Amino acid sequence: MVVGDFATEVDVLVVGAGPGGYVAAIRAAQLGRSVVLVDKADLGGVCLNRGCIPSKALISASRRYEQMRHSAEMGLTATDVAVDFGKTQSWKRDVVGKLTGGVGALLKGHGVQVVKGEAYFVGEDTVSVSTEESGQRYKFNHCILATGSSPVELKAFPFGGRILSSTEALELSHIPQSLIVIGGGYIGVELGQTFARFGTKVTILEGADGILPGFAPELTRPVAKKLQQYGAEIVTGAKATAAKETGDGVAVTFEAAGQTREVSAEYVLVTVGRRPNTRDLGLESIGVAIDDRGYVEVDRQCRTSVGRIFAIGDIVKGPALAHKASYEGKVAAEAIAGLASEVDYKCIPAVVFSDPEIASAGLSEAEAKAQGYEVTVGKFGFAANGRALSLAAAEGIVQLVADKSTGVLLGGQVVGPEAADIIAEIALAIEMGATLEDVALTIHAHPTLAEVVMEAAESALGRPIHQLVRR
Protein backbone atom coordinates (compact mmCIF):
# COMPACT_ATOMS: atom_id res chain seq x y z
CA MET A 1 0.00 0.00 0.00
CA VAL A 2 1.25 3.47 -0.90
CA VAL A 3 0.93 6.19 1.77
CA GLY A 4 -1.88 8.51 0.80
CA ASP A 5 -4.03 5.94 -1.07
CA PHE A 6 -6.81 6.57 1.42
CA ALA A 7 -8.18 10.09 1.84
CA THR A 8 -8.70 11.68 5.24
CA GLU A 9 -12.17 13.22 5.41
CA VAL A 10 -12.59 16.73 6.80
CA ASP A 11 -15.40 19.27 6.93
CA VAL A 12 -13.32 22.30 5.91
CA LEU A 13 -9.90 22.29 4.27
CA VAL A 14 -8.11 25.66 4.27
CA VAL A 15 -5.20 26.09 1.87
CA GLY A 16 -2.92 28.91 3.00
CA ALA A 17 -2.13 29.99 6.56
CA GLY A 18 -1.86 33.75 6.06
CA PRO A 19 -4.13 36.36 7.69
CA GLY A 20 -7.04 35.14 5.58
CA GLY A 21 -6.47 31.41 5.91
CA TYR A 22 -5.77 31.08 9.61
CA VAL A 23 -8.67 33.41 10.50
CA ALA A 24 -10.99 31.36 8.26
CA ALA A 25 -9.79 28.15 9.92
CA ILE A 26 -10.43 29.49 13.43
CA ARG A 27 -13.87 30.84 12.53
CA ALA A 28 -14.87 27.55 10.87
CA ALA A 29 -13.75 25.66 13.98
CA GLN A 30 -15.74 28.04 16.20
CA LEU A 31 -18.79 27.12 14.10
CA GLY A 32 -18.36 23.44 14.85
CA ARG A 33 -16.50 22.25 11.75
CA SER A 34 -13.52 19.91 11.70
CA VAL A 35 -10.73 21.89 10.03
CA VAL A 36 -7.39 21.07 8.41
CA LEU A 37 -5.11 23.99 7.55
CA VAL A 38 -2.40 23.38 4.92
CA ASP A 39 0.53 25.64 4.08
CA LYS A 40 3.96 24.95 2.65
CA ALA A 41 5.53 27.81 4.63
CA ASP A 42 5.13 29.40 8.07
CA LEU A 43 1.95 30.22 9.94
CA GLY A 44 0.89 33.81 9.35
CA GLY A 45 1.87 33.86 5.69
CA VAL A 46 3.71 36.66 3.95
CA CYS A 47 2.11 39.39 6.06
CA LEU A 48 3.35 38.11 9.40
CA ASN A 49 6.66 36.61 8.30
CA ARG A 50 7.88 38.56 5.28
CA GLY A 51 5.66 41.63 4.93
CA CYS A 52 3.37 43.69 7.19
CA ILE A 53 4.87 42.86 10.58
CA PRO A 54 8.63 42.77 9.87
CA SER A 55 8.38 45.92 7.75
CA LYS A 56 6.52 47.77 10.49
CA ALA A 57 9.14 46.64 13.01
CA LEU A 58 11.91 48.12 10.85
CA ILE A 59 9.84 51.26 10.26
CA SER A 60 9.45 51.65 14.02
CA ALA A 61 13.18 51.16 14.60
CA SER A 62 14.14 53.70 11.93
CA ARG A 63 11.64 56.21 13.32
CA ARG A 64 13.06 55.77 16.81
CA TYR A 65 16.58 56.26 15.43
CA GLU A 66 15.56 59.43 13.62
CA GLN A 67 13.94 60.83 16.78
CA MET A 68 17.06 60.10 18.82
CA ARG A 69 19.20 62.00 16.32
CA HIS A 70 16.91 64.94 15.68
CA SER A 71 15.10 66.19 18.79
CA ALA A 72 17.14 69.34 19.31
CA GLU A 73 14.06 71.55 19.04
CA MET A 74 12.86 69.95 22.28
CA GLY A 75 16.19 70.66 23.91
CA LEU A 76 17.21 67.00 23.60
CA THR A 77 20.54 66.03 22.11
CA ALA A 78 22.24 62.66 22.03
CA THR A 79 25.79 61.78 21.09
CA ASP A 80 27.20 58.63 19.55
CA VAL A 81 23.79 57.41 18.38
CA ALA A 82 24.47 54.29 16.37
CA VAL A 83 22.65 51.38 14.78
CA ASP A 84 23.54 47.76 15.47
CA PHE A 85 21.56 46.48 12.50
CA GLY A 86 22.16 42.86 13.33
CA LYS A 87 20.52 43.44 16.70
CA THR A 88 17.71 45.38 15.01
CA GLN A 89 17.06 42.43 12.73
CA SER A 90 17.15 40.05 15.69
CA TRP A 91 14.57 42.17 17.51
CA LYS A 92 12.40 42.19 14.39
CA ARG A 93 12.55 38.39 14.19
CA ASP A 94 11.60 38.15 17.87
CA VAL A 95 8.48 40.24 17.16
CA VAL A 96 7.57 37.93 14.30
CA GLY A 97 8.26 34.84 16.40
CA LYS A 98 5.97 35.96 19.20
CA LEU A 99 3.12 36.49 16.75
CA THR A 100 3.60 33.23 14.82
CA GLY A 101 3.70 31.40 18.14
CA GLY A 102 0.45 33.09 19.10
CA VAL A 103 -1.21 32.03 15.84
CA GLY A 104 -0.08 28.45 16.42
CA ALA A 105 -1.49 28.46 19.94
CA LEU A 106 -4.84 29.82 18.73
CA LEU A 107 -5.12 27.18 16.02
CA LYS A 108 -4.26 24.42 18.47
CA GLY A 109 -6.70 25.78 21.03
CA HIS A 110 -9.50 25.65 18.46
CA GLY A 111 -8.67 22.11 17.41
CA VAL A 112 -7.42 23.02 13.94
CA GLN A 113 -5.03 20.43 12.46
CA VAL A 114 -2.06 22.15 10.81
CA VAL A 115 -0.28 20.31 7.99
CA LYS A 116 2.93 21.67 6.47
CA GLY A 117 2.94 20.73 2.83
CA GLU A 118 2.02 21.72 -0.72
CA ALA A 119 -1.54 21.25 -1.90
CA TYR A 120 -2.72 20.17 -5.37
CA PHE A 121 -6.33 19.58 -6.39
CA VAL A 122 -6.98 16.13 -7.83
CA GLY A 123 -10.75 16.49 -7.79
CA GLU A 124 -13.56 18.88 -6.90
CA ASP A 125 -13.54 17.54 -3.35
CA THR A 126 -10.04 16.13 -2.98
CA VAL A 127 -6.59 17.61 -2.44
CA SER A 128 -3.24 15.85 -2.48
CA VAL A 129 -0.79 17.31 0.05
CA SER A 130 2.92 16.65 -0.40
CA THR A 131 4.95 16.89 2.79
CA GLU A 132 8.64 16.41 3.51
CA GLU A 133 7.98 12.91 4.80
CA SER A 134 5.23 11.62 2.54
CA GLY A 135 1.93 12.53 1.01
CA GLN A 136 -1.68 12.50 2.04
CA ARG A 137 -5.04 13.03 0.42
CA TYR A 138 -7.83 15.01 2.05
CA LYS A 139 -11.46 14.74 1.00
CA PHE A 140 -13.39 17.83 2.02
CA ASN A 141 -16.96 18.98 2.19
CA HIS A 142 -15.78 22.56 1.68
CA CYS A 143 -12.46 24.21 0.91
CA ILE A 144 -11.24 27.79 1.43
CA LEU A 145 -8.41 28.93 -0.83
CA ALA A 146 -6.16 31.55 0.75
CA THR A 147 -2.86 31.17 -1.09
CA GLY A 148 -1.94 34.86 -1.17
CA SER A 149 0.30 36.64 -3.65
CA SER A 150 3.94 37.04 -4.70
CA PRO A 151 6.01 40.06 -5.81
CA VAL A 152 5.84 40.82 -9.52
CA GLU A 153 9.21 40.15 -11.15
CA LEU A 154 10.20 42.38 -14.06
CA LYS A 155 11.92 40.68 -17.00
CA ALA A 156 14.68 43.30 -17.05
CA PHE A 157 15.11 43.06 -13.26
CA PRO A 158 15.09 39.38 -12.26
CA PHE A 159 15.33 38.81 -8.52
CA GLY A 160 18.67 37.61 -7.30
CA GLY A 161 22.06 39.05 -6.37
CA ARG A 162 21.71 42.78 -5.92
CA ILE A 163 18.16 42.97 -7.31
CA LEU A 164 15.80 42.46 -4.39
CA SER A 165 12.13 41.90 -3.73
CA SER A 166 10.69 43.20 -0.47
CA THR A 167 11.38 39.79 1.09
CA GLU A 168 15.14 40.06 0.59
CA ALA A 169 15.20 43.76 1.47
CA LEU A 170 13.69 43.00 4.87
CA GLU A 171 16.43 40.43 5.54
CA LEU A 172 19.48 42.54 4.63
CA SER A 173 22.32 41.97 7.08
CA HIS A 174 23.48 45.58 6.91
CA ILE A 175 22.19 49.03 6.09
CA PRO A 176 23.06 49.66 2.43
CA GLN A 177 24.90 52.83 1.53
CA SER A 178 22.57 53.38 -1.40
CA LEU A 179 19.34 51.89 -2.72
CA ILE A 180 17.30 52.32 -5.90
CA VAL A 181 13.58 51.66 -5.44
CA ILE A 182 11.62 50.85 -8.59
CA GLY A 183 8.01 51.66 -7.78
CA GLY A 184 6.72 54.41 -5.50
CA GLY A 185 3.67 52.61 -4.14
CA TYR A 186 2.97 51.40 -0.60
CA ILE A 187 5.93 49.06 -0.24
CA GLY A 188 8.42 51.20 -2.15
CA VAL A 189 7.66 54.31 -0.09
CA GLU A 190 7.58 52.49 3.26
CA LEU A 191 10.86 50.64 2.77
CA GLY A 192 12.54 53.48 0.89
CA GLN A 193 11.74 55.90 3.69
CA THR A 194 12.83 53.36 6.32
CA PHE A 195 16.29 52.96 4.84
CA ALA A 196 16.56 56.69 4.16
CA ARG A 197 16.03 57.33 7.88
CA PHE A 198 18.82 54.87 8.64
CA GLY A 199 21.12 56.92 6.37
CA THR A 200 20.85 55.12 3.03
CA LYS A 201 20.96 57.26 -0.10
CA VAL A 202 17.62 56.37 -1.69
CA THR A 203 16.42 56.98 -5.25
CA ILE A 204 12.77 56.22 -6.02
CA LEU A 205 11.75 55.69 -9.65
CA GLU A 206 7.98 55.97 -10.10
CA GLY A 207 6.19 55.72 -13.44
CA ALA A 208 3.22 57.91 -12.46
CA ASP A 209 3.20 61.67 -11.93
CA GLY A 210 3.71 61.25 -8.18
CA ILE A 211 4.39 58.70 -5.49
CA LEU A 212 1.49 56.68 -4.05
CA PRO A 213 -0.63 57.30 -7.17
CA GLY A 214 -3.77 55.84 -5.56
CA PHE A 215 -4.01 58.81 -3.18
CA ALA A 216 -4.79 62.48 -3.78
CA PRO A 217 -1.76 64.78 -4.17
CA GLU A 218 -2.62 66.76 -1.03
CA LEU A 219 -2.17 63.52 0.94
CA THR A 220 1.08 62.47 -0.72
CA ARG A 221 2.85 65.84 -0.80
CA PRO A 222 3.82 65.77 2.93
CA VAL A 223 5.27 62.27 2.43
CA ALA A 224 7.29 63.34 -0.61
CA LYS A 225 8.56 66.37 1.31
CA LYS A 226 9.65 64.18 4.21
CA LEU A 227 11.40 61.74 1.88
CA GLN A 228 13.37 64.59 0.38
CA GLN A 229 14.27 65.85 3.87
CA TYR A 230 15.78 62.41 4.50
CA GLY A 231 17.91 62.85 1.38
CA ALA A 232 15.87 60.69 -0.97
CA GLU A 233 15.55 61.57 -4.65
CA ILE A 234 12.14 61.03 -6.23
CA VAL A 235 11.96 60.72 -10.02
CA THR A 236 8.42 60.59 -11.39
CA GLY A 237 7.34 59.68 -14.90
CA ALA A 238 10.26 57.27 -14.87
CA LYS A 239 10.51 53.96 -16.73
CA ALA A 240 13.31 51.65 -15.61
CA THR A 241 14.61 49.71 -18.62
CA ALA A 242 17.76 47.81 -17.69
CA ALA A 243 20.09 46.83 -14.88
CA LYS A 244 23.76 45.92 -14.94
CA GLU A 245 25.45 44.48 -11.88
CA THR A 246 28.97 45.58 -11.07
CA GLY A 247 31.37 44.31 -8.46
CA ASP A 248 29.99 46.40 -5.63
CA GLY A 249 26.61 47.49 -6.90
CA VAL A 250 24.16 47.74 -9.75
CA ALA A 251 23.54 50.41 -12.41
CA VAL A 252 19.96 51.08 -13.52
CA THR A 253 19.07 52.72 -16.82
CA PHE A 254 15.78 54.60 -16.92
CA GLU A 255 13.88 57.08 -19.07
CA ALA A 256 12.32 60.24 -17.67
CA ALA A 257 11.35 63.61 -19.14
CA GLY A 258 12.41 62.46 -22.59
CA GLN A 259 15.94 61.61 -21.46
CA THR A 260 17.79 58.38 -20.78
CA ARG A 261 19.64 58.42 -17.48
CA GLU A 262 21.60 56.02 -15.33
CA VAL A 263 21.84 55.76 -11.55
CA SER A 264 23.93 53.37 -9.49
CA ALA A 265 23.44 51.93 -6.02
CA GLU A 266 24.45 49.06 -3.79
CA TYR A 267 21.06 47.37 -4.29
CA VAL A 268 17.88 47.68 -6.33
CA LEU A 269 14.51 47.05 -4.70
CA VAL A 270 11.69 46.20 -7.13
CA THR A 271 8.20 46.97 -5.79
CA VAL A 272 5.85 47.11 -8.77
CA GLY A 273 2.96 45.08 -7.44
CA ARG A 274 2.02 41.51 -6.58
CA ARG A 275 0.41 38.64 -8.51
CA PRO A 276 -2.07 36.09 -7.13
CA ASN A 277 -0.72 32.64 -6.25
CA THR A 278 -3.18 30.57 -8.27
CA ARG A 279 -0.76 28.68 -10.47
CA ASP A 280 0.25 25.06 -9.95
CA LEU A 281 -2.73 24.24 -7.75
CA GLY A 282 -4.73 22.30 -10.33
CA LEU A 283 -7.64 24.72 -10.11
CA GLU A 284 -8.31 24.93 -13.85
CA SER A 285 -8.58 21.14 -14.11
CA ILE A 286 -11.49 21.07 -11.63
CA GLY A 287 -13.38 23.97 -13.20
CA VAL A 288 -12.56 26.86 -10.84
CA ALA A 289 -12.99 30.03 -12.93
CA ILE A 290 -9.90 32.25 -13.03
CA ASP A 291 -9.59 35.49 -15.02
CA ASP A 292 -6.74 36.39 -17.36
CA ARG A 293 -4.83 38.09 -14.50
CA GLY A 294 -4.94 34.99 -12.32
CA TYR A 295 -7.70 36.10 -9.94
CA VAL A 296 -10.31 33.59 -8.83
CA GLU A 297 -13.86 34.66 -9.61
CA VAL A 298 -16.15 34.65 -6.55
CA ASP A 299 -19.60 35.76 -5.46
CA ARG A 300 -20.49 37.92 -2.45
CA GLN A 301 -19.95 34.96 -0.12
CA CYS A 302 -16.49 34.28 -1.59
CA ARG A 303 -17.83 31.14 -3.34
CA THR A 304 -16.10 30.13 -6.57
CA SER A 305 -17.64 28.57 -9.68
CA VAL A 306 -17.23 25.22 -7.89
CA GLY A 307 -19.81 25.52 -5.12
CA ARG A 308 -17.91 23.72 -2.37
CA ILE A 309 -14.74 25.79 -2.92
CA PHE A 310 -14.29 29.36 -1.64
CA ALA A 311 -11.50 31.88 -2.29
CA ILE A 312 -10.31 34.84 -0.21
CA GLY A 313 -7.53 37.39 0.11
CA ASP A 314 -5.01 38.36 -2.54
CA ILE A 315 -6.25 35.72 -5.02
CA VAL A 316 -9.56 37.55 -5.47
CA LYS A 317 -10.04 41.06 -6.84
CA GLY A 318 -9.65 44.05 -4.58
CA PRO A 319 -6.82 45.60 -2.60
CA ALA A 320 -4.14 43.18 -1.41
CA LEU A 321 -4.63 43.93 2.28
CA ALA A 322 -4.30 41.57 5.23
CA HIS A 323 -7.43 42.91 6.95
CA LYS A 324 -9.46 42.41 3.77
CA ALA A 325 -8.31 38.79 3.67
CA SER A 326 -9.20 38.24 7.34
CA TYR A 327 -12.63 39.75 6.81
CA GLU A 328 -13.28 37.56 3.76
CA GLY A 329 -12.07 34.52 5.71
CA LYS A 330 -14.77 35.03 8.33
CA VAL A 331 -17.42 35.57 5.65
CA ALA A 332 -16.43 32.35 3.84
CA ALA A 333 -16.42 30.28 7.04
CA GLU A 334 -19.82 31.64 8.04
CA ALA A 335 -21.25 31.01 4.57
CA ILE A 336 -20.07 27.40 4.80
CA ALA A 337 -21.89 27.14 8.14
CA GLY A 338 -25.10 28.32 6.48
CA LEU A 339 -25.07 31.87 7.82
CA ALA A 340 -26.19 34.78 5.65
CA SER A 341 -22.80 36.53 5.67
CA GLU A 342 -21.78 38.55 2.62
CA VAL A 343 -18.85 40.84 1.88
CA ASP A 344 -19.39 44.58 1.98
CA TYR A 345 -16.35 46.49 0.79
CA LYS A 346 -17.67 50.03 1.27
CA CYS A 347 -15.38 50.77 4.19
CA ILE A 348 -12.08 48.90 3.92
CA PRO A 349 -9.35 51.14 5.39
CA ALA A 350 -6.14 51.60 3.43
CA VAL A 351 -2.98 52.65 5.25
CA VAL A 352 0.52 53.63 4.19
CA PHE A 353 2.95 53.48 7.11
CA SER A 354 4.98 56.35 5.74
CA ASP A 355 6.17 59.47 7.52
CA PRO A 356 3.66 61.03 7.94
CA GLU A 357 1.20 58.15 7.74
CA ILE A 358 -1.61 58.14 5.17
CA ALA A 359 -4.95 56.44 5.72
CA SER A 360 -8.32 56.42 4.00
CA ALA A 361 -11.70 54.77 4.32
CA GLY A 362 -14.83 54.96 2.22
CA LEU A 363 -15.06 57.37 -0.71
CA SER A 364 -12.72 60.20 -1.60
CA GLU A 365 -14.22 63.50 -2.75
CA ALA A 366 -13.59 62.61 -6.39
CA GLU A 367 -15.06 59.11 -6.00
CA ALA A 368 -18.17 60.44 -4.26
CA LYS A 369 -18.78 62.98 -7.02
CA ALA A 370 -18.23 60.30 -9.66
CA GLN A 371 -20.99 58.25 -8.00
CA GLY A 372 -23.39 61.18 -8.29
CA TYR A 373 -23.22 62.60 -4.78
CA GLU A 374 -23.34 66.31 -4.07
CA VAL A 375 -20.78 66.48 -1.30
CA THR A 376 -19.68 68.67 1.53
CA VAL A 377 -16.08 68.46 2.66
CA GLY A 378 -14.55 69.35 5.99
CA LYS A 379 -10.81 69.71 6.57
CA PHE A 380 -8.72 70.39 9.63
CA GLY A 381 -4.96 70.45 9.97
CA PHE A 382 -2.77 68.88 12.65
CA ALA A 383 -0.89 72.19 12.82
CA ALA A 384 -3.68 73.54 15.07
CA ASN A 385 -3.84 70.44 17.27
CA GLY A 386 -2.20 70.64 20.68
CA ARG A 387 -1.30 66.97 20.87
CA ALA A 388 0.32 66.98 17.43
CA LEU A 389 2.36 70.07 18.27
CA SER A 390 3.50 68.51 21.56
CA LEU A 391 4.65 65.46 19.60
CA ALA A 392 6.55 67.65 17.11
CA ALA A 393 4.50 66.00 14.40
CA ALA A 394 2.10 68.61 13.10
CA GLU A 395 2.19 67.89 9.37
CA GLY A 396 -0.99 66.87 7.63
CA ILE A 397 -4.77 67.06 7.67
CA VAL A 398 -7.98 65.13 8.28
CA GLN A 399 -10.59 65.36 5.53
CA LEU A 400 -14.19 64.19 5.83
CA VAL A 401 -16.50 63.71 2.83
CA ALA A 402 -20.25 63.66 3.38
CA ASP A 403 -23.50 63.66 1.43
CA LYS A 404 -24.53 67.32 1.39
CA SER A 405 -28.27 66.63 1.59
CA THR A 406 -28.20 64.19 4.51
CA GLY A 407 -24.86 64.82 6.20
CA VAL A 408 -24.14 61.08 6.13
CA LEU A 409 -20.43 60.41 6.17
CA LEU A 410 -19.19 58.86 2.92
CA GLY A 411 -15.45 58.77 3.45
CA GLY A 412 -12.43 60.17 5.19
CA GLN A 413 -8.75 60.65 4.48
CA VAL A 414 -5.91 61.35 6.89
CA VAL A 415 -2.28 62.29 6.42
CA GLY A 416 -0.47 62.91 9.66
CA PRO A 417 0.68 61.36 12.92
CA GLU A 418 -1.02 58.07 13.87
CA ALA A 419 -3.25 58.21 10.80
CA ALA A 420 -3.38 54.40 10.84
CA ASP A 421 -5.21 54.48 14.17
CA ILE A 422 -7.27 57.63 13.58
CA ILE A 423 -8.87 56.09 10.49
CA ALA A 424 -10.58 53.47 12.69
CA GLU A 425 -12.93 56.10 14.11
CA ILE A 426 -13.81 57.32 10.64
CA ALA A 427 -14.36 53.77 9.35
CA LEU A 428 -16.67 52.99 12.29
CA ALA A 429 -18.65 56.17 11.66
CA ILE A 430 -19.10 55.26 7.97
CA GLU A 431 -20.06 51.67 8.82
CA MET A 432 -22.69 52.88 11.29
CA GLY A 433 -24.15 55.43 8.89
CA ALA A 434 -23.14 58.34 11.13
CA THR A 435 -23.60 61.94 10.06
CA LEU A 436 -21.27 64.89 10.38
CA GLU A 437 -23.47 66.01 13.26
CA ASP A 438 -22.90 62.68 15.05
CA VAL A 439 -19.14 63.02 14.74
CA ALA A 440 -19.12 66.68 15.76
CA LEU A 441 -21.24 65.99 18.85
CA THR A 442 -19.05 63.09 19.99
CA ILE A 443 -16.95 64.41 22.86
CA HIS A 444 -13.28 63.74 22.15
CA ALA A 445 -10.70 63.70 24.92
CA HIS A 446 -8.27 66.60 25.03
CA PRO A 447 -5.47 66.80 24.08
CA THR A 448 -5.61 64.00 21.53
CA LEU A 449 -4.89 63.61 17.85
CA ALA A 450 -8.43 62.29 17.30
CA GLU A 451 -9.82 65.76 18.06
CA VAL A 452 -8.89 66.64 14.49
CA VAL A 453 -11.70 64.34 13.28
CA MET A 454 -14.23 66.26 15.37
CA GLU A 455 -12.80 69.56 14.15
CA ALA A 456 -13.05 68.43 10.52
CA ALA A 457 -16.73 67.54 11.07
CA GLU A 458 -17.38 70.96 12.63
CA SER A 459 -15.62 72.57 9.68
CA ALA A 460 -17.86 70.74 7.22
CA LEU A 461 -20.90 71.94 9.20
CA GLY A 462 -19.66 75.53 9.01
CA ARG A 463 -19.08 76.01 12.72
CA PRO A 464 -15.43 75.30 13.47
CA ILE A 465 -14.08 76.53 16.80
CA HIS A 466 -10.39 76.44 16.07
CA GLN A 467 -10.54 77.60 12.49
CA LEU A 468 -11.43 81.00 11.05
CA VAL A 469 -14.24 80.95 8.51
CA ARG A 470 -14.39 83.53 5.77
CA ARG A 471 -17.79 85.24 5.77
Q: Could you give the residue numbers annotated as active site?
A: 446
Residue 463 in contact with residue 437, Cβ under 8 Å? Answer: no
Amino acid (1-letter code) at residue 427: A
Taking alpha carbons only, the member of 159, 179, 177, 176 closest to residue 168 is 159
Q: How far apart are CA 422 and CA 413, in angstroms?
A: 10
Residue 447 in contact with residue 390, Cβ under 8 Å? Answer: yes
Q: How far apart are CA 35 and CA 37, in angstroms?
A: 6
Enumerate residues 6+ apart whose C-beta is below 8 A from 23: 325, 326, 329, 330
Helix (H, G, I), strand (E, B) or coil at 69: helix
Alpha carbon separation from 33 to 11, 26, 111, 113, 326 (Å, rounded): 6, 10, 10, 12, 18
Taking alpha carbons only, the member of 155, 139, 151, 129 closest to residue 39 is 129
- Output the DSSP codes for 195-207: HHHTT-EEEEEES
Vertex 204 angle, CA 198 and 208, to 5°: 145
Burial of residue 307, with CB atoms counted within 10 A of its CB: 0-12 exposed, 13-18 middle, 19 or more buried: exposed
Taking alpha carbons only, the member of 452, 443, 442, 437 closest to residue 403 is 437
